[in-house]
Amino acid sequence: MIPPTILVADDHPLFREALKLAVSRAAPGAVILEAGQLGDAARIARDAGPLDLILLDLRMPGAEGFSGVAVMHAERPDTPILVVSSADELDAAPRARAYGAIGFVPKTADLGALQNSVERALSGARDPAVLSAIDPELEQMADKIAALTPAEIRVLLGVLRGQLNKQIAFDLKISEATVKGHMTVIMRKMNVSNRTQAVLAARALDIQLPD
């Protein structure tokens, strides 16, 4: 049996070690990849071969709100994501599910609980904690965002942060024409054509819009 490959993405080295220990107990012999910021995690997910599970912290460098879950799900839509976070579980768990997470584990969980969550995720079981409903309007917008490609999500995040096309192009190392092309597709997929709709998208992602 081929051992699973698991990506552990968290910016705190000590907590990453705890997650790796939980993974090694849940899946002895597992190949463990690790990242301390969202950009590195997305690159590893994009370049890795078979990837069986992603353990993801919501609040890590490069991520805001639920953008990390959206980006990682876009990179690897067929790989289960287990969110491990200090965010409020009642609010964050169902919203993480809207972007593709199959489970949520609070950072206050002990090693045994972490191990059990990893085992469930590897078996394909969904965590009951993420099955409750969220605001229907936000869920509809989350579904639209979850349907975007990784590049489209990055452009959308730049727009929501108030960046100009040239700033987004510079940050993403693409041309302004490419940014405009992505925006055309994003607006068609999401109907994000004015500030009111942009505010709804930001609320769904839990991102603070600039004043």
Average pLDDT over residues 150-155: 88
Token representation of residue 62: 């490069």
Q: What is the CATH number of domain 136-205?
A: 1.10.10.10
Give the tokens for residue 134: 């969220």
- Outline which parts of the chain fall under CATH 3.40.50.2300: 5-130
What residues does CATH 1.10.10.10 cover in the chain? 136-205
pLDDT at 34 over 90: yes
CA–CA separation, 191 and 198 (whole Å): 9
Name the most confidently modeled range: 46-55, 56-65, 152-161, 190-199: 46-55
pLDDT tens profile 46-74: 998 899 999 999 888 888 888 889 899 98
CA dihedral 176, 177, 181, 186 (to 10 degrees): 10
Q: What is the H or E stretch that residue 5 is in?
A: strand 5-9
Element (H, E) at 93: helix 89-98
First to last CA, the chain: 54
Q: Give the three-class secondary structure for 23.
A: helix
CATH 3.10.270.10 fits 5-130, yes or no: no
Query: Other CB atoms closer than 10 Å to residue 175's CB: what's the count?
Result: 12
